[in-house]
Amino acid sequence: MNEPSLKALEDLKGKESIVKIFCDLISFDTRSDPLSKNVPSTMGQLRLGASLVNTLRTLGFDAKQEPNGVIYCRVPASKEAQKAPSLALLAHMDTAPDASGAGVTPYLVEKYSGGGIVLKNGLVLDEKICKELGSHLGEDIIVTGGDTLLGGDDKAGVAVLMQLLHDLSLNPEIPHPELCVIFTVDEEIGNSADLVDLAKVNCTYGVTVDGCERGELDLATFNAYAALVEIKGRSVHTGTAYKVMQNACELACRFMNLLPQNEKPENTCGLEGFFHVHRMTAETALAKISLIVRDFDEEGMQKRLKVLQDIAVFMNRECGYDAVSVTTKHQYSNLSKALKEHPLIVDLCRKAYENAGLCANEISVRGGTDGSNLSQRGLPCPNIFTGSLNCHGPYECLPVPSLLKAYETVRALIELSAEVCHES
């Protein structure tokens, strides 16, 4: 019962083409690297992109991968929709740096019966780890072997769009406006939207297809910053360290303890923001702490950034020299304001959910999408679900009906978009 099976997945791949597309995609290691100076940050993204472009050209589409890794695929409008506003569809190729994306081996749990799923390496996936599992009783669920992430964020979104393009190549009369399908890179490290050339996209509005539970429609995201704290210690021989040494390892712990302890991801929910330390290196002479800072409200974000600077000032006063420095980098902005100024794409999404047999669950997502910054740059982009759950780690899973329903929703969206007339 709830036994992960390779054979069951192979059988399903023969029945559902989108499942086969997804499994082919996750065979590429596209984990992004926040420490890399390259663009894109890893070669795996270029390799996957080259494979996608080859497939798209075989299907007859005008597709190109730019040197920065971003793919643009242009699809002419169907005959009756040539006056409809153009629509951008986006998904990202990279996976999160939080867990390995190499050698991903997916398995299928058939007709999930509730309770725990014992992964091949012994980890147990259950409702304590993934609270949404109880909503997927009786469904087929793709899981990991427990040693890697799955890659549903966002290769499930890429699979949805590749399935759509395959169907449009077979039947170009499916109603749709002019489309620009974009596959981005380095979304997980906050760089993707800056790499997208909106002149090449040249669309009126768009949607991202990226993560989250079936039925969710993301109309707001966090504001996001990255922060790097550098701590210079004073290293001397331990035999003469009295009143002289300043151990950067100890100072790093001190800095983290001065952060608001109730404002961590594991202690916050809903519209609450947080500070998250995700990497630290430390020696006596030098320590570095990498954080992400999140808040739905811009004023709240500025207060959070000030907290970091205030801690640095306080610790430098304690140390008697400039031991601590903080640098911050904007990653993305809350897309809600831009969407309120462009309600048409939101209305189209709501109707698409309805046509796909779903009631849209409109949420403020505790994360971000490519649409966060693209919306700020003038391309309003709400986010459509893919069904991926527990992303960024070995407990990630993907209920197959959710993936199929994501495709239905995007298909409904392009058909509805074909009916829109340009404003005179």
Question: Which residues are identified as catalytic?
Answer: 94, 187
Phi, psi values for residue 332, rounded to 5°: -160, 165
Tokens read off for 178: 């002019």
Q: Which long-range contacts (CB under 8 A, 24 or more apart) does 256-263 make?
A: 256/280, 256/289, 258/311, 258/314, 258/315, 259/307, 259/311, 260/307
CA dihedral angle for residue 359, residue 362, residue 367, residue 371, rounded to 10 degrees: 90
List the one residue out of 174, 178, 140, 142 whose CA is nearest residue 159: 142
**CA–CA distance, 222 with 207 (Å, rounded to integer):** 17
Are the beta carbons of 263 and 295 closer than 8 angstroms?
A: no
Residues in the chain: 424
Which residues are 277's β-sheet partners? 291
> Which run of H or E residues covers position 199?
helix 198-201
In the structure encoding, which two tokens stand for residue 2, read together? 């709830």
Measured at the CA of 103, the angle between CA 102 and CA 104, to 5 degrees, comes to: 95
Whose CA is closest to 368, among 274, 300, 297, 294?
A: 294
Count CB atoms within 10 A of the CB of residue 12: 18
Within 10 angstroms of residue 325's Cβ, the number of other Cβ atoms is 13
Query: H or E segment at 364?
Result: strand 361-364
> Given CA atoms 332, 187, 88, 406 in this order, what sign does their dihedral have?
negative
Q: What angle do CA 385, 388, 390 make, to 5 degrees?
A: 125
Amino acid at 327: T
